[in-house]
């Protein structure tokens, strides 16, 4: 019995290793290379913007491979084709599954380029900025896509985490990517205690507020424009876990009142760490 168990575990280990190798046959982990030093992630919050891949200078940093699946697909029947998918990062999405891309410190021209076959690799957004060693950043396509000029606005903010993390609380900050909104303040209302806390101060378009410590709890989030007590955007029942860091990003068209339209004003919740 013990021998069979050892043999089974060994076979399982080999299967896992083979699966990992087959997932990306060209992937090579270089454990001797130095840490690139800077981190950045990418959001497509440009209303009506097409799906894009994101680039640092001329190096593609977000893309996915297309897959081929049996019909109907039994377990493990889908394989990558080695061909880049034309899906890219669609509106409302974050590239690389929300993870940060590691880059060497320095100046970069970051662009969002169309992922679809039509106008493939056409740059629709661009920001030139300098990444500093040891710092984290977020790139946002924002505002409204101009279908004639085929351009959309963009900006980069630093993700300035607290130097020391208190693991008894969560940290939350607010980013405003709505071009037709006035500056807004995000409020978090604890659904248990009903205590409402301002998450930083007023945040203008293309800006980010400071990270604010909040108790581990579930919150209703409300964004209000300067000088108003009415909620311009609401999102309910958002859980913040102690020891984690979050960004709430506002996207969409502030004038839309529909609760289902794709371009309605919306509060996106993404975990930083």
Domain containing residue 56: CATH number = 2.60.40
- Same domain (yes/no): 189, 231: yes
In a domain, 7, yes or no: no
- Same domain (yes/no): 266, 190: yes
- Same domain (yes/no): 122, 231: no
In a domain, 257, yes or no: yes
* Mean pLDDT rounded to a whole number for the chain: 86
Both tokens assigned to 15:
């299967």
In this prediction the pTM is 0.81
- Same domain (yes/no): 145, 188: no
In a domain, 23, yes or no: no
Q: Name the least confident of 10-14, 32-36, 57-61, 185-189.
A: 10-14
- Same domain (yes/no): 170, 107: no
Give residue-wise pLDDT tens across range 112-122. Answer: 999 999 999 99
Give residue-wise pLDDT tens across range 77-128. Answer: 555 445 677 889 999 999 999 999 999 999 999 999 999 999 999 999 999 9
As a whole number of angstroms, the distance between CA 114 and CA 90 comes to: 10
- The predicted pLDDT at position 158 comes to 98
- The predicted pLDDT at position 70 comes to 52
- Same domain (yes/no): 151, 220: no
In a domain, 76, yes or no: no
- Same domain (yes/no): 177, 272: yes
Boundary of a domain, candidates 159, 179, 207: 159
In a domain, 39, yes or no: yes
Domain around 44:
35-65+81-159
H helices of the chain, in order, are 2-23
As a whole number of angstroms, the distance between CA 26 and CA 210 comes to: 40
As a whole number of angstroms, the distance between CA 113 and CA 83 comes to: 17
* CATH code of the domain containing 188: 2.60.40.1120
Q: Are the C-beta atoms of 187 and 199 separated by less than 8 Å?
A: yes
- The predicted pLDDT at position 85 comes to 76
- The predicted pLDDT at position 108 comes to 98
Total domain count for the chain? 2
Give residue-wise pLDDT tens across range 182-193. Answer: 999 999 999 999
- Beta-strand ranges (E) seen in the chain are 38-44, 52-56, 59-60, 65-68, 79-84, 93-94, 101-103, 106-114, 123-131, 136-146, 151-158, 169-176, 184-190, 196-203, 207-208, 212-215, 217-225, 233-240, 245-251, 266-271
């Amino acid at each position: 019995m013990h021998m069979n168990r050892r043999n089974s575990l060994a076979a399982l280990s080999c299967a896992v290793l083979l699966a990992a190798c087959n997932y990306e046959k060209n992937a090579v982990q270089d454990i001797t290379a130095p840490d690139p030093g800077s981190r950045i992630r990418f959001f497509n919050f440009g209303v009506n913007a097409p799906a894009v891949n994101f680039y640092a200078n001329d190096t593609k940093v977000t893309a996915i491979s297309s897959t081929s699946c049996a019909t109907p697909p039994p377990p493990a029947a889908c394989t990558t084709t080695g061909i880049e998918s034309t899906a890219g990062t669609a509106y409302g999405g974050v590239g690389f599954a929300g993870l940060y891309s590691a880059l060497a410190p320095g100046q970069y021209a970051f662009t969002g380029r169309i992922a679809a076959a039509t106008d493939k690799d056409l740059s629709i957004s661009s920001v030139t900025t300098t990444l500093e060693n040891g710092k984290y950043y977020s790139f946002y396509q924002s505002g409204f896509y101009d279908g004639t000029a085929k351009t959309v606005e963009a900006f980069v903010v630093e993700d300035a985490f607290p130097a020391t993390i208190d693991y008894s609380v969560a940290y939350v900050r607010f980013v405003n990517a709505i071009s037709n909104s006035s500056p807004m303040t995000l409020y978090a209302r604890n659904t248990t205690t009903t205590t409402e806390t301002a998450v930083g101060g007023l945040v203008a378009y293309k800006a980010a507020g400071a990270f604010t410590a909040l108790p581990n709890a579930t919150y209703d989030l409300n964004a209000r424009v300067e000088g108003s007590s009415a909620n311009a955007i609401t999102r309910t029942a958002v859980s913040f876990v102690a020891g984690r860091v979050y960004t709430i990003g506002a996207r969409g068209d502030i004038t839309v009142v529909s609760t289902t339209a794709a371009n309605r004003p919306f509060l996106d919740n993404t975990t930083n760490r």
